[in-house]
Amino acid sequence: MKDFVDKMRLKEMAEEDIFFAKQDIELIDALQKKKLVKLAKCGGSDEKQQAEAFQERFEAISEKHKKKPRKLLKSYRRLLDDIKNACKRRG
């Protein structure tokens, strides 16, 4: 009987960990999106078009690597670097 109770407790802990991991991923995604929007608004005549292109790229990256956190992070970093470079060229 003790084994069953321990297994149920472990199952509950695992479900809780999974829930919070998903929530963390969603929050990180939202923060990255917020940072992307802030960086994309650096001025220029084609600002809206370029911001939309960055947004589409962000969404594609998020979907492609949603189950691969390290690749997702690296892809976000490359995208943010591209945005910064685009802003430097305009500024």
From residue 81, alpha-carbon distances to 10, 21, 58, 62, 87 in Å are: 41, 26, 13, 16, 10
From residue 63, alpha-carbon distances to 23, 44, 59, 76 in Å are: 16, 29, 6, 12
What pTM, to 2 d.p., does this model score?
0.52
Are 46 and 1 within 8 A, CB to CB?
no
pLDDT per residue as tens digits for the range 12-63 = 999 998 898 888 888 887 887 777 776 666 555 566 677 778 888 888 888 8
